[in-house]
Structure 1
Amino acid sequence: MQSPETPPLTAPLILTLTLNAEAQAYFDALRRQHFPPERNYLDAHLTLFHHLPGDQLPALSHQLTELCQAQPPLLLQVNGLLFMGQGVAYKLESAALENMHRMLQQSWWPLLTPQDQQRRRPHVTVQNKVRPEVARTLHQQLTETFLPFEAQGIGLRLWAYRGGPWELLRTFSFQG
């Protein structure tokens, strides 16, 4: 019999990068201001994997724990904005993040959906599911005042996707 702490998990898992507090607060404020409130279930986030199998939670958690023990914080360059048709996101670049993602991708390849097998283009969405003209206007406004800045990736979060709000399952801090 399963204990209440370890229920069988069938929901897909989502892996996100945890941002430093200042960057998180900046993106959260923009998301609260520009994301449709009825769809804004989450704080701003940078998704690394969209659909990992829930039944692999113990193995994935073990691997992420080991990875994070040796991983130092990641320097991220926030270098522009991305118009997504019905939304706007901030583009981020980091060779270290790209290397970490590629390593996890190779390790998990048989478990990955086609979406998660693709090269990741790191971004933080601050608006989505709006009319294209609304997104285009916000993109133009934010682009006019944008100055590149740095952020840090300070860990990982593993979530269960249950059809709406995500359920946080585990947090892993970079300790290297």
Structure 2
Amino acid sequence: MPAPPPLILTLQLDEPAFAFFNALRKKHFPANINYLDAHLTLFHHLPNNSAIPELLEKVAREQNIMPLEITAVIKLGRGVAYKIESEVLKQLQEYLKKQWQPWLTPQDQQGFRPHITVQNKVAVETARTLYEQLSANFQPFTAAGTGLSLWEYHGGPWQKVRDYDFRPSTPPN
């Protein structure tokens, strides 16, 4: 019997941010390899076992919707992404990383540099042109992380396992 597929964990984005990034991805990511909607990956390869969703359920119950700052357009060599900054997101990712340390691949053990890729695996010149276009009028903006999504990786396409929605932010008293 084959081993179950590995899991991928992503951050859910609020609807306006998701629509913005997904439109760019659909326009600029090579269609023949664009299996996915826009996403922000927290972990690329987790074991497919019950400890993962159990912890995610707990985290989602305790985590408020989080602010995200989209601070720059960045070059990926053969692609383009948007840099995301959020102390809350970094703390959440670091917490999960500590819980899952024995299972992490070298890629997931590296430093966390949150971003949303809108183009990848194109010619360097194509990527440079898009980077220049998107950078020309870029203004930093805000978005929100609204939950987590757990996926199974099937060698290209991803299959959603479950969403874990964060609690709505509560206004200060």
TM-score w.r.t. structure 1 length?
A: 0.93
Where do 1:64-83 residues align within 5 Å?
64-83=56-75
The secondary structure found in structure 2 opposite 1:172 is strand
1:154 aligns with 2:146: yes
1:50 aligns with 2:83: no
1:14 aligns with 2:21: no
Where do 1:86-165 residues align within 5 Å?
86-165=78-157
What is the alpha-carbon root mean square deviation over aligned residues? 1.1
The secondary structure found in structure 1 opposite 2:42 is strand
The whole-number CA distance in structure 1 between the counterparts of 2:58 and 2:167 is: 10
Report percent identity of matched pairs: 51
Q: Alignment length, in residue pairs?
A: 167
The unaligned stretches of length 5 or more in structure 1 are: 1-7
The whole-number CA distance in structure 1 between the counterparts of 2:71 and 2:53 is: 31
The whole-number CA distance in structure 2 between the counterparts of 1:164 and 1:111 is: 21
- Which digits, 9 at most, give the CA deviation of each residue in 1:97-132, with x for residues without a partner? 000000000010001001101121000000001000
Amino acid at match of 1:11: P
The unaligned stretches of length 5 or more in structure 2 are: 169-173
1:168 aligns with 2:160: yes
The whole-number CA distance in structure 1 between the counterparts of 2:163 and 2:34 is: 21
Map of 1:61 onto structure 2: 53
The whole-number CA distance in structure 2 between the counterparts of 1:30 and 1:160 is: 24
The whole-number CA distance in structure 1 between the counterparts of 2:7 and 2:122 is: 26
The whole-number CA distance in structure 1 between the counterparts of 2:99 and 2:30 is: 36
Give the ranges of 4+ consecutive aligned residues of structure 1 lying more than 2 Å apart after TM superposition. none
